[in-house]
Amino acid sequence: MILSSGFDGNIYVLKDGDNVVLIDTGTGLFVSDIYRLVESLGLRKDSIRKVILTHVHIDHSGGLPKIVKDISPKVCVYEGEAQYIESGKGSVILSTMMGVSFPPTKVDVRLKDGEIMEIGKREFKVMNTPGHTAGSICLFDEENGILFSGDTVFPDGAFGRVDFPTGDPDALVRSIKMLSHLDVKHLFPGHMNAVLNEGKKHIELAARCAEMFL
């Protein structure tokens, strides 16, 4: 894990045998940190075979064009958001804020709700969790209780903003409630620290907070 600093999102580097799978890429300011982390696992940076985006906001997708240019991994984006990556629009608001340009980037795999992705020996279910953006996804490994939650839900009762394009407060409440019924041990969010062993408790708190405030 590369913990986000400032505006950046968290980046997850998953070792899958001799390959590496990334979940999110940050704004692009820390791509060299990703490569260093991959090398610290005893692998070359071109072992990055797959990049999965939890959603297309620039603080999660901004590193993608450079990684694609350097290494050409398979780019996996939820079917409802792939158009933003391919058109280069990303989230216009966030792109402008960061002054980041986003060259159109080809999406190789359009992820579908409910599909299973194999990463290493683990199986992750793709779950569309609208609210922060309409096409946000979480990745859930039911057997091991591991949830990558993007910007849908964070630790300590926090949750994603709903005031960006395609944001929807009611949908976010529904999505977090749905996640709160899962047996989540370990929560790996798109910002803030990871939670080990007590993920479910944090998601239940976020469900109550979201219902109260949204």
Among 151, 199, 200, 210, indicate the residue that binds Zn ion (CB under 5 A).
151
Q: Considering the complex, what minimum distance in angstroms separates the CB of residue 144 from Zn ion?
A: 25
Question: Which of 8/151 has CB closer to Zn ion?
Answer: 151
Within 10 Å of residue 99's Cβ, how many Cβ atoms? 6
Residue numbers 16-35 binding Zn ion by CB under 5 A: none
Q: Report which of 50, 35, 27, 48 is spatially closest to residue 108, judged by C-alpha positions.
A: 50
Total residues interacting with Zn ion, rule: CB under 5 A? 2
Question: Which of 57/200 has CB closer to Zn ion?
Answer: 57
Rg (CA), the chain: 16
Q: Taking CB under 5 A as the rule, which mask of x and - marks residues 52-91 in contact with Zn ion?
A: -----x----------------------------------
Q: Considering the complex, what minimum distance in angstroms separates the CB of residue 57 from Zn ion?
A: 3
User: Environment class of residue 17 by beta-carbon count within 10 Å: exposed (0-12), middle (13-18) or buried (19+)?
Assistant: exposed
Does position 50 interact with Zn ion (CB under 5 A)? The reply is no
Q: Report which of 69, 87, 78 is spatially closest to residue 23, judged by C-alpha positions.
A: 78
d(CA 147, CA 163): 24
Q: Taking CB under 5 A as the rule, which mask of x and - marks residues 98-137 in contact with Zn ion?
A: ----------------------------------------
d(CA 113, CA 115): 6
* Binding region for Zn ion (CB under 5 A): 57, 151
